Chain A
């Protein structure tokens, strides 16, 4: 039976946190108590096993995804609606945070140098949307269906007084690019394949340019270099 005090000292020794003044005392104890030496060896083996485990690199693009989301949050409130803008921005952050996993599209957005848009994957959206989120509680302003061999689903435009979000509920069955044109800017999101379908479902593109409240959003799907479908989303749905 090892005295509790020495168990603590043995552990501190193995962890490199043994006070210098306790070193001699522990040495004497170890010499006299083989079970204490066995414990020290055992803890040392656990250390060795754990030290052999590789520290993994984060997935490529993760940092860019984080910074893209934060960049959106960092922008100042727009159009004199400071209070609401801040509230909705926080809501969108949670929206992005909860569903995270925007690596694929987020990285694409970053690489494309999209300056006024942040894009997030929002799979697993059902039932977990935060209360008060502008997207979760509102109906789409406009939408269109996509029915191609490579991709199917719906693209919808949601709006609040200070922000608009293009939501993609898409099932990719083959390689396809998505091109979004809005307010004089064009962003291309590539890298979607059938393999990405495992986690796909819902993506959101946040529009925050100065003209974002009125300008129509044109969304095109490109397969093998050819535009195979284009849809336009209007801020005010056409009557």
Chain B
């Protein structure tokens, strides 16, 4: 079965980055993602659950590290205990493509040239506006004192005030940076090694090595990629 961009995603583990030389000899930076067997652990139908979705499980876990309810849940799908379970909305008409216990592998990406990869970015902690939003900061001299990295004015009444005298929501300021869900769109698939369950995509992917990421066929391509494809 081939995945569509509006269906379930594959769950894989980021192994790390390296380089490969393409057929022209050009060095291509790649991220290696290990995608083992993904098991359909539950199919949610509109009749029973009120909406259409599939739950995908992936990753080995020792039974003693899982819980009895989860072990039973995975056993219903005929699978050993799984580490991660994720639910994905599926269009109702495609629900018939999935059945309980079905295994999705990298074969599902056959014929796909671009993928989106979703993960949790590395946490950077509480950061100022220069690092977080690429603000310029203030001048190094010309009378600037102790304010070299501060954001400056956050605007006057006319531009930035919402109702009730407060700032509009979403004003860019200091705060937590990273450790959030990030989608990287339309990455080139460099190689699919189905034998070793490895997927090589061009460029970086959110998260640290060993982080778990979701992979789906690209929903919408960038203009340059459309021309390429």
The answer to whether A and B belong to the same complex is no
